[in-house]
Amino acid sequence: MIEPSLALYGDAYARVDGHIQELLDTTGVRYGLLVDRKGFVLSHKEALWAPRPPALDSVATLVASNAAATAALANMLGERTFSEQIHQGENGTLYVESVGDSALLTLIFDVSVPLGKVKVYAKKTVAQLSAILEELKDIPPVQFTEDFSHGASALLDDLLG
Amino acid sequence: MSTINFAAREINCKIVYYGPGMSGKTTNLKQVFSKVPGHLRGEMVSLATEDERTLFFDFLPLDLGSVQGFKTRFHLYTVPGQVFYNASRKLILRGVDGIVFVADSAPNRLRANAESMRNLRENLAEHGIDVREVPIVLQVNKRDLPDALPTTMIRAVIDPRGELQMFEAMSDKGVGVFETLKTVSRLVLERLSKNK
């Protein structure tokens, strides 16, 4: 079934935010994002001391495509998926872990942060986040009316002429 | 890049430009990127080879604004058109909400158009998507070629039943680019309000 991914913010996402912030505080990670498998940012947090993050839309898209590509690789190797990916550079690390089947927790941190520590705490956060995402599945989908369609069309006219 | 408002609600739609190699998918995105004001679009990401052939995808986020309290945005993607990149092409179709099929008007690309359309159907089927379920718009590109085939002939090959909306385009000059995007966006939004 194809449908536009609809991210409902509010209470559930306030809790997601809280868990990501907590992870950032305990580990010293710079940026923490929850990205869905289609490449949309569901939630993000950055450490107060960290410099401005790179374009998060681009990060999310690349992380999701990367995960999709490695999942295809995993299938070829007889795995269902690779749940965890670590990309290590000279100055920093990108750590991605699956949260359930639909999202990815993405953490970006520099060399001063030990990877082992991040892994330990991230696992805990992943469990909390997947519980929240699980709850969200039961929320009834939002109903859109004709007005919505008209309003959106008007905006389209503005944007595209 | 707009900041994310956690109190707000957000709708994201994914539009994929499909079609044979060199038909002008990336050019479409470049045109949109260059003409849409900066505050409404994000950065364009291109994963391309040195000679600018798309290797994995191009990506461009577009912000429509808020509709009834929902922040509405489109993510535009292109696929690599070359036949041997099917594995990555399939990945990009994941979760697609609308498709623009960019066909090439050159006589020697007629067969490539047909093959690409067949490939699209196969890949959608593998994702469990019925072609009739997803909004698809045809764009017949490169109309300025001196030996361009008549659109009826191209259409007969990729859309024999004439079910899809079609636009003629010269994407390098920006002709037909926005009409196509607008139509596919509208179809996606209409589908949304029908609660499909």
Residue pLDDT, tens place only, A13-69: 788 889 999 999 999 999 999 998 888 888 889 999 999 999 988 999 999 999 989
Q: Judge contact between A38 and B14, C-beta under 8 A.
A: yes
Contacting B residues, span 8-27, partner chain A, CB-CB under 8 Å: 8-14
Comparing CA positions, the residue from B20, B136, B138, B141 lying closest to residue B81 is: B20
* d(CA A13, nearest CA chain B) in Å: 7
Residue pLDDT, tens place only, B129-179: 888 889 999 999 999 999 999 999 999 999 999 999 999 999 999 999 999
Residue in the structure block whose two tokens are 């869905």:
A36
**pLDDT at residue B95 in the model:** 87
**pLDDT at residue A142 in the model:** 67
How far is it, in rounded angstroms, from Cα B153 to Cα B110? 9
Neighboring chain A residues of B54 at a CB cutoff of 8 Å: none
- Which of B130, B136, B189 to mutate to test binding with chain A, by most A CBs within 10 Å of its CB? B189
Comparing CA positions, the residue from A114, A51, A2, A12 lying closest to residue B136 is: A2
Comparing CA positions, the residue from B12, B59, B33, B23 lying closest to residue B148 is: B23
Q: Judge contact between B153 and B107, C-beta under 8 A.
A: no
How far is it, in rounded angstroms, from Cα B113 to Cα B51? 22
Comparing CA positions, the residue from B90, B115, B96 lying closest to residue B12 is: B96
Query: pLDDT: is B92 or A159 the higher one?
Result: B92
How far is it, in rounded angstroms, from Cα A155 to Cα A65? 29
Residue pLDDT, tens place only, B31-90: 999 999 998 999 999 998 888 898 889 999 998 888 877 788 899 999 999 998 999 899
How far is it, in rounded angstroms, from Cα A31 to Cα A116? 17
| pLDDT band for position A160 (cuts 50, 70, 90) | confident
Task: Determine the average pLDDT of the residues in A131-156.
Answer: 78
Nearest CB neighbour to A65, from listed B4, B40, B57: B57
Report yes or no: B39 at the A interface, CB cutoff 8 Å: no
Q: What is the DSSP string of A33-55?
A: EEEETTS-EEEEEE-TTSPPPP-
**pLDDT at residue B4 in the model:** 36
**pLDDT at residue B3 in the model:** 31
Are A38 and B7 an interchain contact pair (Cβ–Cβ within 8 Å)? no
Residue pLDDT, tens place only, B82-137: 998 999 899 999 889 999 999 999 999 999 999 999 999 999 999 998 888 899 99
Question: CA of B177: which chain A residue's CA is closest?
Answer: A160
| pLDDT band for position A4 (cuts 50, 70, 90) | low
User: What is the helix (H) or strand (E) element at residue A134, kind and residue range?
Assistant: helix A115-136
**pLDDT at residue A140 in the model:** 66
Q: Judge contact between B29 and B139, C-beta under 8 A.
A: no
Read off the pTM.
Answer: 0.88
How far is it, in rounded angstroms, from Cα B39 to Cα B20? 32
**pLDDT at residue B192 in the model:** 79
- Sign (positive or negative) of CA dihedral A150, B18, B133, A135: negative
Q: What is the ipTM of this complex?
A: 0.81
